Structure 1
Amino acid sequence: MPELPEVEAVRRGLEDRLVGKSLTEVRVREPRLRRPVPPLSPWVGRRLLRVERRGKYLLWRFDEGTLLVHLGMSGHFAFAAPEVPPGRHDHVDFLFEENLLRYTDPRRFGLILPLDAAAERALEARLGLEPWDARLTPALARERVQERRRAIKEVLLAGDVVVGAGNIYACEALFHAGIHPDRPAGTLGEEDWARLLAALRAVFEAAIAAGGTTLRDHRTVEGKGGEYRDRLAVYGREGEPCPRCAAPVRRVLQGGRSTFFCPVCQSPGRAAW
């Protein structure tokens, strides 16, 4: 599933090509996504003012209303030439003047929905802060989790403290912060959170610059794969040497998902490096 860097890469691509343009046509060939795509004909004629990202969601801000988009597990956007016929999994076409934007989603787990004020408030209520939000201090993060016994990796995935980290970047940030993924979140002190937040921001920034990480489905709107895969320190590298200490990277299951870590650099008893 796309994480913050992949969604941000898509956002920037959409903003570069579409902001200021009017939606001139929408073609919905398959409305059965995670939730049915509602009629979008009322949006024709509206002008796109900006494309925002909140966590892993895209918010298309028009001069009248907002569309919420979530890419799900396999969704992606790509610009296409008008003469190119849609493929089997090309479910929705958005025509913004001369730009044809095609939504493709083989597993049909994405979302395209109008977002009214009440729904946006509900979304905000369940999302944590953005990684670069000035309010997200180590002290605040520690306060929000001080009673939790849940593993820190699972807290990062939940996204109610800081948004954007899925399996890939949670593993990577915890490695760079020297924190064991199974450590109870409530045991992290402010120094731990300072390292972890700094690691999250650094990993996100590097991944955004690389266009994200492509393991299977992610593509930018220009059809390019994300290049951060070649820079992953531990994710997907079970049995390979840790880039810091050369110990074999381990994989365990947490909440039914694979977690990759270095048993030496992220040892619970190891002092921070």
Structure 2
Amino acid sequence: MPELPEVETVRRGLEPVMEGARIVALVQRRPDLRFPFPDDFAARVAGRRVTALARRAKYLLIHLEDGAVLICHLGMSGSFRIERRAAADVPGSFHHARPRDAKHDHVCLSLQGPDGEAALVTYNDPRRFGFMLLAEAAELDAHPLLAGLGVEPTGNALDGALLSELLRGRQAPLKAALLDQRIIAGLGNIYVCEALWRAGLSPRRRAGSIAGQAGATARAGRLAEAVRTVISEAIAAGGSSLRDHMQTDGSLGYFQHSFNVYDREGEACRKPGCQGTIRRIVQSGRSTFYCPACQR
């Protein structure tokens, strides 16, 4: 499933084409994806201007001029394709090629930009685990999908002091706590593995063990910095291109070439001076990759 950097890459790819453009028409080619499409979907969207594209955790938020917000989730295999007179592109990034079979084109948005240029933005989703819902901007924070989401792992809000506070007293394994969207929004399996390696912390250790009685601890500070850095680098690289994720320009992401532990079971640890070997374990049904020698 695309993680935060992939969704942010998609947002940035769509923004130049969609922001400020008017949705001339919406074509819906099936009644549902993971969830049914909104009632009168085409009529409620057509004619509206896109005022902004935002992201919250792994959700893409398309703000319309009438106060409505289109909440989009890419699911396992969703992608957006942009077609203009000069070229076609697909923003996002993925490790395995993403299918572009037109039979999986489920929603098409015909756009007219502020300069009058026409564009077609198509949502393609072979597995149909993604979805599109409508909400009101004024009620967005209370929406069931968004209410209760934790701090974003971008910017400076997530620091050692805040992470200590969020994890204090928690008995769950550290990796499981970091994947809890109520604590940190948008973190997924790949980047948690990478951040824990950078911070030198075991995914098995109790989450509360890195939190002090008050303020930041050295471990919490290292981990907060590692999370922010790995997310920032992944966004700059265009995401991780795992499985079906693709950018809006059709290219694949390259952060996967920088993986230090993820999907490297049995390989030598890349940390200078470490003689360890990357191990794979299963936690809560998901693969965890880490170095037992340097992650304590």
- Please give the TM-score of this superposition, normalised by the length of structure 1: 0.92
> 1:150 — aligned with what?
172
Residue segments in structure 2 that go unaligned for 5+ positions in a row: 89-99, 113-117, 212-216
Residue matched to 1:271: none
- For 1:111 and 1:120, how far apart are their aligned partners in 2? 19
**Residues 59-112 of structure 1: CA deviation (Å, up to 9, x unaligned):** 101111111011111111111358999712111111112111111111111110
Q: 1:175 aligns with which of 197, 218, 227?
A: 197
Contact 1:7 1:57 in 2 (8 A): yes
Equivalence for 2:51: 49
Report the equivalent of 2:214: none
Q: How far apart are residue 6 of structure 1 and its match?
A: 0.3
| 1:77 partner SS | strand
Distance, in Å, in 2 between the alignment partners of 1:216 and 1:201 is 24
Corresponding position: 1:199 with 2:226: yes
Amino acid at match of 2:239: G
Would the aligned equivalents of 1:171 and 1:234 in 2 still touch at CA under 8 Å?
A: yes
CA RMSD of aligned residues (A): 1.9
User: Which residue number corresponds to residue 215 of structure 1?
Assistant: 242
Aligned with residue 270 of structure 2, among 243, 255, 269: 243
Q: Which position in structure 1 is the counterpart of 2:289? A: 260
> Does 6-15 or 36-45 show the bigger shift?
36-45
Question: Could you tell me how far apart the structure 2 residues matched to 1:202 and 1:174 are?
Answer: 12
Which piece of structure 1 moves more, 121-130 or 96-105?
A: 121-130
Q: Which deviates the most, 109-118 or 58-67? A: 109-118
Give the match's secondary structure for 1:204: helix
Q: Please show how residues 74-113 of structure 1 align to structure 2 within 5 Å.
A: 74-80=77-83, 87-97=102-112, 98-113=118-133
Match of 1:136 among 140, 158, 174: 158
> Which position in structure 2 is the counterpart of 1:12?
12
Give secondary structure in 1 for the equivalent of 2:75: coil
2:184 is aligned with 1:162: yes
Q: Is the 8 A contact 2:154 2:232 kept in 1?
A: no
Q: CA deviation at 1:5?
A: 0.6
Judge which range, 81-90 or 15-24, deviates more: 81-90
Secondary structure at the residue paired with 2:277? coil
Moved more, 34-43 or 73-82: 73-82
**Looking at both structures, which has the greater relative contact order when contacts are Cα pairs under 8 Å and sequence separation is at least 6?**
2
Residues 126 and 141 from structure 1, CA distance in 2 versus in 1: closer, same or farther, beyond 3 angstroms?
A: same
Shift of 1:125: 2.9
- Partners of 1:31 and 1:91 within 8 A in 2: no
Q: Unmatched 5+ residue regions in structure 1?
A: 269-273
SS class of match (1:143): helix
- SS for the counterpart of 1:115 is strand
* Residue 76 (structure 2) aligns with: 73
Question: Which is further off, 171-180 or 129-138?
Answer: 129-138
Question: In the alignment, is the contact (CA less than 8 A) between 1:94 and 1:101 conserved in 2?
Answer: yes
Residue 265 of structure 1 deviates from its aligned partner by 1.1
After TM superposition, the score normalised by the length of structure 2 is 0.85
- Give the number of aligned pairs: 267
Q: Is the 8 A contact 2:2 2:242 kept in 1?
A: no
Per the TM alignment, residue 126 of structure 1 is displaced from its structure 2 partner at its CA by: 1.6
State the 1:246 CA deviation. 4.2
- Residues in 2 aligned to 1:15 and 1:70: alpha-carbon distance in whole angstroms: 16
**What are the superposed Cα offsets for residues 127-178 of structure 1, whole Å, 9 maximum, x if unpaired?**
1111235443322222222121111111111122222210100100000011
Identify which of 142, 146, 150 aligns with 1:121. Answer: 142
Paired AA for residue 4 in structure 1: L
The structural deviation recorded for 1:124 is 4.1
Q: Counterpart of 1:88 in 2: which secondary structure? A: helix
Partners of 1:70 and 1:193 lie apart in 2 by: 31
- Measure the CA separation in 2 of the matches of 1:264 and 1:86: 45
Which SS does the other structure have where 2:14 is aligned? helix
What do residues 25-58 of structure 1 show as CA deviations (whole Å, max 9, x unaligned)? 1111123211111232221111111100111111
Letter in 2 for 1:120: D
